[in-house]
Amino acid sequence: MLQDVERLDGLIDHLLDAARTLHRRPSRSDEVTELGPLLDQVRNGVGQRHGVSAECIRIDCEAGVGVRGRKADVEIVFRNLLDNALKYSLPDPRVEVRATGGREKVTVTVADNGPGIPLSQRHAVFRRFVRLGSELERSRPGTGLGLSLVRSLVKQLRGTVTAKGRLGQRGSVFEVELPAG
- pLDDT higher than threshold 70 for residue 40: yes
Bin 90: left if φ > 0, else alpha if -120 < ψ < 50, else beta. Answer: beta
Give φ, ψ of 97 to 5 degrees.
-120, 130
CA dist list (Å): 45 to 49, 149, 150: 6, 19, 18
What is the C-alpha separation between 46 and 170, in angstroms, rounded? 22
Q: Are strands 95-101 and 172-179 parallel, antiparallel or unpaired?
A: unpaired
**Highest CATH level, class, for 2-179:** alpha beta
- pLDDT higher than threshold 90 for residue 59: yes
- pLDDT higher than threshold 60 for residue 27: no
User: 91-137, pLDDT tens digit by residue?
Assistant: 889 999 999 988 899 999 999 999 888 888 877 788 876 565 444 34
Note the pLDDT of residue 91.
86
- For residue 174, what are the β-bridge partners? 110, 163
Note the pLDDT of residue 21.
63
Structural domain boundaries of the chain? Answer: 2-179
Cis peptide, bond prior to residue 91, ω within 30 of zero: yes
User: 68-85, pLDDT tens digit by residue?
Assistant: 998 989 999 999 999 999
pTM of the model: 0.80
Note the pLDDT of residue 134.
42
Note the pLDDT of residue 33.
93
What is the C-alpha separation between 112 and 136, in angstroms, rounded? 24
User: 133-178, pLDDT tens digit by residue?
Assistant: 444 344 555 556 788 889 989 998 999 999 998 887 889 999 999 9
Note the pLDDT of residue 122.
78
What is the C-alpha separation between 159 and 28, in angstroms, rounded? 12
**What crossing angle do the helices spanning 2-22 and 146-156 adopt, rounded to 10°?**
30
